[in-house]
Amino acid sequence: MRPGGNGPAPPPHPQGNGAHAADHGRAFAGRSGPGRMTSRVAHILNSLGTGGVPEAVLGLVRHGDTKAHAPLVYCLKPAMEPEAAQDLRRRFEAAGAEVHVAPGADKIDGVAHLAEWLAGQRIDLLHSHSYRPNLYGRMAGFLIRSNGLRIVSHYHNQYDDKWLPGSSALMLERRMAAGTDAMVAVSGMVQKHVAALLDVPRSRIEVIPNGIAEDKTAPREREEARRALGLDPSAEVIGCVGRICRQKGQDLFVAAALALLAQGHGGTFALIGAEEDAVMAARLRASIAAAGMADRVIFLGHVKDMANVYAALDLLVAPSRWEGFGLMLVEAMAAGCPVIASEAGAIPEVAGGAARLVGVEAVEELAEAIGSLDGAARRNMAAVGRLRAAEFGWPRAAAQVGELYDRVLRC
């Protein structure tokens, strides 16, 4: 039985329930039994951006069973970083996924465009990822629900800033959750968070942790990696990985770095990630320049080869204000890089005791942790981190998602 069967009926397909709907229904005829046909699965993304969500979807696509579930990727709007987006598109296509990028129309036209695309592509299962895709993806999906479309919504983060108590966004999300076939969370923390806000049992939300991309953690020689990034081979390099935005806390990282440098710390502090919030990035550059530390706190921007980054770092710092999973944590651990992180969101759950944790927005505590971590402690953390990272793999996550698809498609 599909969840929400007693709720309001979905709107009819914009083109009616004519020949196309009948044809789409026939595509489902082979689902059960040994001769079932391959299903077509559309992953709905906000854009081909540089965050963790597109990378997570790429991991699922790369390691999924494409003979059972043929992947397609639909982006609601073009990415802000064209070069990074083009690289990600190539990687999706190399993994066997067709990619479609919408023109970024307004909400109503965007939903209509997606509904037409879903129908035209004869999609069997819509798998939406994170806030906007979960919202607009399901709106479009409900328009053609009479075609037999199944819907899976994937929650990758916390949404306190969007699902405000009593807000129309929260009320709409609750109504759509009632008609969603399956829900997935990337961590137990996100599962608990979403269940509480949407007022659904936690058992309705399956926890499937993210995995690690092998190409991001491939062994590299440190000197070679640093030369590729333009870093001093002999320097101590402390890095903060993630798109520059309030969530990732680069302002906290810079504040801790400037405090340590003022005390005579000899390291280089590097920010690695696209400038999603250009205003924030400009303010950080100004504060660094005002302190006369532009040569010690540097911006590397988006880096295509993350294996070089993790190999080059002596220490990864992740001072996030909230975090649904934190792929950079397990990627760094897998590469043997010790981690200091805030205890925000799912970080304690994901780190599993393998990282040193500090309070959220606790700049002094963060600076003390960075400055006091000696070589022996770092080596021990690196060893423990590798063991922890080995527990996260995309093959296992993709297999769990594939099993979920099979269950949903049999309904």
Question: For 19-211+394-410, which CATH class?
Answer: alpha beta
The answer to whether residues 179 and 7 touch, using CB atoms and an 8 Å cutoff, is yes
Same fold yes or no, 19-211+394-410 and 217-389: yes
Q: Which residues pair with 270 in a beta bridge?
A: 239, 298
CA 186 – CA 216 distance, rounded (Å): 20
CA distance 28 to 393: 31
Scanning the structure block, which residue is given the tokens 């651990």? Answer: 333
What is the distance between the alpha carbons of residues 156 and 137, in angstroms, rounded to a whole number?
15
The count of residues in the chain is 411
Residue pair 272/82 in contact (Cβ under 8 Å)? The answer is: no
Which tokens in the block code for residue 317? Answer: 């710092």
Tokens found for residue 374: 């000696």
- Quickly list DSSP for 253-267: HHHHHHHHHHTT---
Element of type H or E holding 57: helix 52-63
Sign of the Cα torsion 199, 201, 206, 209 reads positive
Helix 363-372 to helix 250-262 angle (10° resolution) is 60
The interaxial angle of helices 168-178 and 131-143, nearest 10 deg, is: 50
Angle, helices 250-262 vs 278-290, to 10°: value is 10
pLDDT tens by residue, the chain, 411 residues? 445 443 333 433 333 333 333 344 434 433 434 445 799 999 999 999 888 899 999 999 999 999 999 999 999 999 888 888 999 999 999 999 999 999 876 778 899 999 999 999 999 999 999 999 999 999 999 999 988 999 999 999 988 777 778 888 899 999 999 999 999 999 999 999 999 999 999 999 999 999 998 888 888 999 999 999 999 999 999 999 999 999 999 999 999 999 999 999 999 999 999 999 999 999 999 999 999 999 999 999 999 999 999 999 999 999 999 999 999 999 999 999 999 999 999 999 999 999 999 999 999 999 999 999 999 999 999 999 999 999 999 999 999 999 999 999 998
Cβ-count burial of 60 within 10 angstroms (0-12 exposed, 13-18 middle, 19+ buried)?
A: buried
Distance CA 351, CA 341 (A): 9
pTM: 0.86
Asked if 342 and 355 count as a contact pair (C-beta separation under 8 A), the reply is no
- Cα separation of 112 and 365, whole Å? 49
| Residues with Cβ within 8 Å of residue 350, at least 6 apart in sequence | 187, 209, 325, 326, 329, 330
Report whether 141 contacts 149 (CB < 8 A): yes
Q: Where are the domains of the chain?
A: 19-211+394-410, 217-389
Among 3.40.50.980, 3.40.50.2000, 3.90.950.10, 3.40.50.150, name the CATH number for the domain at 217-389.
3.40.50.2000
